[in-house]
Chain A
């Protein structure tokens, strides 16, 4: 929107050149606000970005989107303020405004600019999504892209109202707490035994719905040792709010010793578990049965 001569009848009837003044106001406020938003608000937009490859990607993504949104929000906000200051009826007077019914150039410019913005945002989002292997989101049983190299599969089995975790590469042992090795690519296979749940590991940037009878895969690579909470993010009945448990990201050696301990400790339980499968078709259950 640079061609102020072309679009605005500036200076008509002794009025100030509103277009130039408003555009200046907008550009100046955007230039001031944009770095402030990115620097001060950007880091607050999610968990610490070093937690996993996925959180880092998500944080960058949110920053880009908020960065794009800031000048647009400011455009309308400064315009509203400007209009409130200058496009007013004086008290008691009944003057009419100019009978402008539109401006083809401004409309065209608006359509082109908003379309380009939207298309580039969508293009950027697609590139991020596919290059980051779903960026931590549940991508169905056969994700279009998956990380190369070895992955540790962890099956997340949701039921009312808890998650259990099954490690198929470690003898199919099933635990009630989630422990992950740092720096390894994890393949979460999320499924449910009853209603729809959602596995939300906020700190490592993973969210995948748990559907009965369906294997929903999400990838994450934790990059820092830490303790965090896993929540259910899809309404699943009265104790939905209580459906959360602690999870840990630990060093490789600590993970190996932990899982070995689990395997021996839980061996009797593992024996009676159903054999590991991508999903477990639940019996049709009714209340009162």
Chain B
């Protein structure tokens, strides 16, 4: 995501750096970070071996050493962060030296490759970094589908297949928690609330670099034998697995830390840094969605970190939290994991609600319909998501008498989700819809999420779920909500907001090709998966009944087309951002929201003067003539 032109005036105004090249490389930057990261890794590895080879029999008997690998990862991450300069501020404060609040906010392209406290830089960093790992996850999906062209393991062995499934799921579920909040909320929440920065700019940068370190750690699992558990990491299989499992544990724990910090930062920013007059009832709905997501992150992610810490202890020093033979319980892991895991899926879904409801008023030229209902929908979903986790354990035999309760709470959660739909439909009502690319993605969101949501209600019923649990039906369901809900709204946000972030337009023709190909192939991929589940195909298998080959082949081919549509998007990015470089207008969509009122590129300080807000950002439309009595629109 190059922005050299846009940043040129800034770079020129900075004092010219006359030091020789080798001198510039010394200091706190990405190169130092990588060197210290690798150094820390080997230091941890060495210490781990010193500790454990003398104490633990199993680690002597094999070439496996979980203590060493976990320490290596931990030291590596610490070295990486120190190299980037995250220790400077606390150390300077401890030494009593004055420390600057902001770092590297006015340099040129290099600020994208290091610790930068400008929320706009972090937003762009996030977009590119997340894009990178999304690409890795998508390539894994393509390989999974290639393997499933056959009903027996053919292209990859069963072990590699499970690693592909695990890395795909974990990468997507882990990285995409910040898929919207990372790039778009970091970039636009301060602009939408009339602030010059996030509440904790250094923490903001930390969340990004933690996520990057985590992503590489997960990818490194292939060097340690991969992991067989999928993204859920169920014990005791987790305990039994080879060292690649530690990569999963470290990845998800780091993602958890990143999530907690990101959520706290968002909450603090939204609570404290709103411009004068920006009351809670004037807040853009995207900011509300961010807030609800942040609450979920802060409350759910610590559970994940604790759960995985116990897993790591079980694996490294045999603590037996989850090992039945040692007095532990495999139920415990499932219980704890899903107490995080169910809010997690709403961490993925809620930002999508926010994007869609934020965008459609601009494109139908009408105020958001039912603003307060939409907010209560989002908050209701957040609250309810903590009361449904055992529906993942419906056939496990745990607390079987409580199943009707979890069935009820799961079905109730569709009521606040329904609020989002009625607000969506109400906003479209008698609107003047322009079918731009972001609008198409929003309409596709409604289509996909509707199927995802109703299939969720079908799954929530216990008798039905007896058959569908753990089958491809579940897989189709959550791909409809996460790909169909989150990824489609993610692309809506890209086509809508990136022109502001980068200052360049996308090619609309390619964008429309991308949309239509993606929409059609997505549905053609995942609709048949419902059928496969109903026909009795379990998830995560590379070996299945021969009569299902035909349908699986259809799905695989559709999935390849879906993958190809992503290549069209990448081609569009390369073409529009590197070759065509057509400058975008400051407010191409004629939006009334605050983030579009600042010039492009957005100045480092966002606003010359902090704006005073006197209305919500949905001041569209011509006032309705109040007819006699009945037709008067009631206040939302």
What residues make up the interface of A, taking CB atoms closer than 8 Å to B? 5-6, 8-9, 12, 15, 18, 44-47, 54, 57-58, 61-62, 65-66, 69, 72-73, 76-77, 79-80, 83-84, 87-89, 93-107, 110-111, 114-115, 118-119, 121-122, 125-126, 128-130, 132, 134-141, 143-144, 190, 194-196, 198, 200, 202-203, 205-209, 211-218, 229, 231-242, 281-289
Contact = CB atoms under 8 A, between A and B. Distances in A.
A98 B534 contact: no
A65 B460 CA distance: 10
B616 to A, nearest CB: 9
Q: 9 shortest A-B CB distances, which residue pairs? A: A102-B636, A99-B621, A241-B543, A241-B541, A216-B397, A284-B325, A9-B631, A140-B400, A104-B634
A135 B403 CA distance: 12
Contacts of B373: 102, 107
Contact of A122 (B229, B408, B447): B408
A153 to B, nearest CB: 16
A207 B461 contact: no
A18 B430 CA distance: 8
B500 interface: no
Nearest to B409: A122
Nearest to B403: A129
Interface in B230-248: 230, 232, 234-237, 239-242
Contacts of A135: 462-463, 466
A113 to B, nearest CB: 9
Interface in B592-636: 618, 620-625, 627, 630-631, 633-636
A134 B463 CA distance: 7
B587 interface: no
A122 B461 CA distance: 7
Which one of A15, A97, A196 has the greatest number of beta carbons of chain B within 10 Å?
A97
Contacts of A111: 415, 419
A176 to B, nearest CB: 19
B418 interface: yes
B398 interface: yes
A183 to B, nearest CB: 21
Given A137-B395, A240-B162, 9 more contacts: A9-B624, A15-B430, A58-B466, A88-B433, A110-B418, A121-B411, A205-B467, A282-B324, A283-B325
A139 B402 CA distance: 10
B102 interface: no
B534 A136 contact: no
Interface of B: 58, 61-62, 64, 153, 157-159, 162, 228-230, 232, 234-237, 239-242, 318, 320, 323-326, 329-331, 334, 364-373, 393-401, 403-404, 407-408, 411-412, 414-415, 418-419, 421-422, 425-426, 428-435, 443, 446-447, 450-451, 454, 457-458, 460-467, 469-471, 531, 534, 536, 538-545, 590, 618, 620-625, 627, 630-631, 633-636
A216 B330 CA distance: 14
A15 B623 CA distance: 16
Contacts of A207: 395, 466-467, 469-470
Contacts of B367: 99-101
Contacts of B545: 229
B370 A107 contact: yes
Nearest to B325: A284
Contacts of A87: 364, 428-433
A66 B450 contact: no
Contact of A285 (B61, B230, B325, B465): B325
Contacts of B372: 102
Contact of A121 (B235, B369, B461): B461
Contacts of B58: 286-289
A99 B366 CA distance: 6
A48 to B, nearest CB: 12
Nearest to A82: B428
A195 to B, nearest CB: 4
Contacts of B422: 106-107, 110
Which one of A101, A232, A239 has the greatest number of beta carbons of chain B within 10 Å?
A101
A12 B631 contact: yes
A194 B240 contact: yes
B466 A95 contact: no
A196 to B, nearest CB: 6
Nearest to B432: A89
Contact of A211 (B397, B414, B458): B397
A19 B232 CA distance: 46
18 contacts: A12-B624, A77-B450, A83-B425, A83-B433, A89-B434, A96-B366, A101-B369, A101-B618, A103-B369, A110-B418, A137-B466, A138-B395, A144-B401, A213-B325, A215-B397, A234-B234, A235-B539, A242-B543
B461 A61 contact: yes
A233 B326 CA distance: 25
Contacts of B544: 241
B457 A65 contact: yes
A285 B419 CA distance: 50
Contact of A238 (B158, B370, B446): B158
Contacts of A62: 458, 464, 467
Given A69-B457, A198-B395, A284-B325, A100 B624 contact: yes
B635 A104 contact: yes
Given A129-B462, A211-B397, A231 B159 contact: no
Contacts of A232: 538
A100 B464 contact: no
Contacts of B234: 195-196, 234-235
Contact of B462 (A5, A88, A125): A125
A128 to B, nearest CB: 5
A200 B447 CA distance: 32
A97 B395 contact: no
B364 A205 contact: no
A18 to B, nearest CB: 6
Contacts of B454: 69, 72-73
B165 to A, nearest CB: 8
A73 B450 contact: yes
Which one of A6, A139, A234 has the greatest number of beta carbons of chain B within 10 Å?
A234
A235 B624 contact: no
Contacts of A76: 421, 425, 446-447, 450
Which one of B162, B425, B435, B544 has the greatest number of beta carbons of chain A within 10 Å?
B425
Given A98-B430, A125-B407, A45 B395 contact: no
Contact of A212 (B325, B451, B543, B621): B325
Given A77-B447, A235-B237, A238-B228, A103 B633 contact: yes
Nearest to A137: B466
A58 B450 contact: no
B534 A79 contact: no
B471 A89 contact: no
Contact of A98 (B323, B400, B403, B621): B621
Contact of A140 (B237, B239, B334, B397): B397
A57 B464 CA distance: 9
Contacts of B61: 288-289
Nearest to A287: B240
